[in-house]
Amino acid sequence: MKAVADTLGVSRSNLAERLKRGAKPRSAYQKAGDAAVLPRIQRLVGARPTDGYRRITALLNRELAAAGEPPANHKRVYRLMTSRRGGRAASHGLLLERHSGDRPGRTHDGKVVVMRSNLRWCSDGFEFACWNGEIVRGAFVIDAHDREVIAWRAVIGGGISGSDVRDMMLEAVKARFGTTRAPSPIEWLSDNGSPYTAKDTRRFAGQLNASINLAPWPVP
């Protein structure tokens, strides 16, 4: 210990005292205003239990803007929603559970979610611009209960067609049941985009034992 103390330029008694005290545990990081933001987040999650932290951030910032208050960063919302990890994060536990095949999750009492898998599948599209100027458009199928993305399609420089949606439907049914027809009826929830409203798509869905519900998802 003498050699270490001499190298650090401290007395041996000082070094021994530091070793006895040990490392000071780090407390959870907090930011001014967290106490005011957290109840808003808890209320939003209670009303929208299937929403992730980014959607909760968008809804929260909409409220803050209406109240004339500054927006909250999505990283801050994630921190407040996260579960306890190693004693360093607040134990609010508001994040969605990661899918692991057997997940209890939060109680699903929204308008879209159902009580078990393979009752209702939801489908929607998205697009984003790449740095090289190309536009990528995609679509996906997600189970309203277990939140697993069952099938998806992506197109560069074009749009998602009815044929793409029908191929995605067939892939989803095969992935879940190993056949080309679901053993029990499945509700297919989507918007009223032309790939979903096409007669061929609706007819094909019936052959798969799926019924297309063109009512939009109940999100703002």
Distance CA 180, CA 169 (A): 10
Phi, psi of 25 (to 5 degrees): -65, 140
Q: In the prediction, which pLDDT does 179 show?
A: 93
Which pLDDT tens digit goes with each residue over 157-210?
Answer: 788 888 999 999 999 999 999 999 999 999 988 888 888 888 889 899 999 999
